[in-house]
């Protein structure tokens, strides 16, 4: 179907392609994955949440029919994987109907959940409808600390139950742990816990400092020594648990010297749709305030993906400045993260300051070296409306 889009007048009818069209043509295939943020509602209040500071209210959320149409369009353009996320996707009472539409569209479906609102009956029903995979977030294996981090009572016990149900029902399970200075010492126990629960995959993700995490950076950022310990734990466990547990390890940007290929390259592999229907090249793209984000209510997904202004703003390499422009890694890491470049250097077209070739790298590194060694301030919990509630 993406071929139909490409030959349907949007690309091939242009005789002399401009640079935006050239970059769209360089991406002549569908996004591999769609992150569907069904809602920003969530019973938890994690201080590292990647949702925006301005959370979308329920009255602005896409309807059931609109999400079902998104699934149909995603299937038609050739999206392979759907990540049902939020907020907490299970607070949507129509999750089953949205899932059904996704299964009908031929998408591989992954439910990213905190688990706290799930019942066994509902999980069984989702599995029967064709859910392929569950990704369960955990804050810590220590229940009191998990409660403190998420501001949610009884979360660890509930997640334990949900993890058991997932495996008993026969669904593959990934556990996801965002690590920061308030749970980093628990990492060996978190790895043991993932094995005990029968997870096939463990994502150990150092906090990415956008949105709520950026607001809470001084409370969350670990020291270099703590970060290096996590590298050692993961390397050792990866070797020891070969064939048992697969690791996804997201390193800490402030202690790295090369950036990650953020989203696998802007507008290259992934598309995010927010609860109100904005179609984004990455979930933090709204922080680049001058970008015009199309809404799925106004324009078809395939057209936005190929021709949307926001998708073409940083697609490919033609937008790059030095040092990225002449760097031999420019098609490996794509210059890193545009949102981090903007937040830390004032220009989204600069190299991600994670890169040691960036003139902003020293200042970026110094932030960690200053904040991580100072006493942690209290958390600013992720809340709808009042963003200033400090523990």
Q: Where do contacts with ligand SF4 occur on this chain (CB under 6 A)?
A: 42, 44-46, 49, 51, 86-88, 114, 137, 258-259, 323-324, 327, 329-330, 333, 335-336, 351-352, 355, 357, 382
- Under 8 Å between Cβ of 374 and 223: no
- Under 8 Å between Cβ of 276 and 62: yes
The answer to whether the Cα torsion of 46, 47, 48, 51 is positive or negative is: positive
Distance spanning both ends of the chain, measured CA to CA = 51
Between 229 and 258, whose beta carbon lies closer to ligand SF4? 258
Q: Could you check whether the bond before residue 87 is cis, i.e. omega within 30 degrees of 0?
A: yes
Between 180 and 293, whose beta carbon lies closer to ligand SF4? 180
Between 45 and 68, whose beta carbon lies closer to ligand SF4? 45
- Under 8 Å between Cβ of 347 and 273: no
Between 261 and 277, whose beta carbon lies closer to ligand SF4? 261
Q: What is the dihedral of CA 163, 166, 172, 176, to 10 degrees?
A: -30
3-state DSSP helix/strand/coil percent for the chain, to nearest 5?
Answer: 40, 15, 45
Minimum Å gap between C-beta 30 and ligand SF4 is 25
Give CA–CA dist 225/299, Å, rounded. Answer: 48
Minimum Å gap between C-beta 77 and ligand SF4 is 27
Minimum Å gap between C-beta 317 and ligand SF4 is 9
| Helices of type H across 252-337 | 301-307, 309-313
Between 87 and 302, whose beta carbon lies closer to ligand SF4? 87
Minimum Å gap between C-beta 22 and ligand SF4 is 19
Minimum Å gap between C-beta 382 and ligand SF4 is 5
Minimum Å gap between C-beta 391 and ligand SF4 is 14
Between 62 and 149, whose beta carbon lies closer to ligand SF4? 149
Report which of 353, 323, 341 is spatially closest to residue 253, judged by C-alpha positions.
Answer: 353
């Amino acid at each position: 179907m993406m071929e139909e889009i490409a030959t349907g007048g949007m690309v091939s009818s242009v005789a002399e392609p401009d640079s935006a069209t050239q970059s769209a043509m360089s991406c002549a295939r569908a996004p591999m994955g769609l992150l569907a943020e069904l809602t920003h509602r969530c019973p938890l209040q994690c201080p590292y949440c990647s949702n925006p500071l301005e959370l979308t209210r329920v009255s602005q959320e896409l309807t059931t029919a609109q999400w079902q149409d998104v699934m149909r369009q995603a299937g038609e353009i050739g999206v392979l994987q759907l990540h049902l996320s939020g907020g907490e996707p299970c607070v949507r009472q129509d999750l089953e109907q949205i899932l059904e539409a996704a299964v009908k569209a031929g998408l591989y479906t992954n439910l990213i959940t905190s688990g706290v609102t799930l019942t066994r009956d509902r999980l069984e029903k989702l599995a029967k409808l064709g859910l392929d995979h569950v990704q369960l977030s955990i804050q810590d294996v220590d229940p009191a600390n998990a409660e403190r981090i998420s501001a949610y009572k009884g979360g660890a016990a509930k997640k334990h139950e949900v993890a058991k149900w997932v495996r008993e029902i026969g669904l593959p399970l990934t556990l996801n742990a965002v690590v920061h200075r308030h749970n980093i010492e628990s990492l060996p126990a978190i790895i043991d816990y993932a094995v005990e629960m029968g997870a096939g995959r463990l994502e150990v993700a150092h906090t990415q400092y956008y949105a709520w995490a950026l607001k809470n950076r001084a409370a969350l950022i670990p020291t270099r020594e703590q970060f290096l310990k996590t590298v050692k734990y993961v390397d050792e466990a990866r070797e020891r648990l070969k064939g048992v547990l697969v690791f996804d390890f997201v390193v800490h940007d402030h202690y790295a010297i090369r950036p990650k290929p953020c989203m696998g390259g802007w507008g290259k592999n992934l598309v995010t749709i927010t609860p109100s229907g904005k179609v984004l090249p990455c979930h933090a793209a709204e922080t680049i305030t001058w970008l015009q984000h199309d809404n799925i209510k106004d324009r078809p997904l395939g057209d936005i993906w190929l021709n949307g202004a926001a998708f073409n703003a940083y697609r490919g390499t033609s937008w790059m400045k030095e040092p990225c422009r002449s760097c031999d890694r420019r098609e490996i890491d794509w210059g890193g993260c545009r949102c981090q470049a903007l937040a830390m250097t004032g220009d989204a077209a600069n190299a991600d300051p994670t890169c040691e070739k960036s003139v902003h790298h020293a200042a970026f590194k110094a932030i960690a070296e200053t904040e991580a060694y100072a006493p942690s301030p209290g958390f600013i919990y992720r809340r709808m409306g009042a963003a200033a509630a400090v523990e």
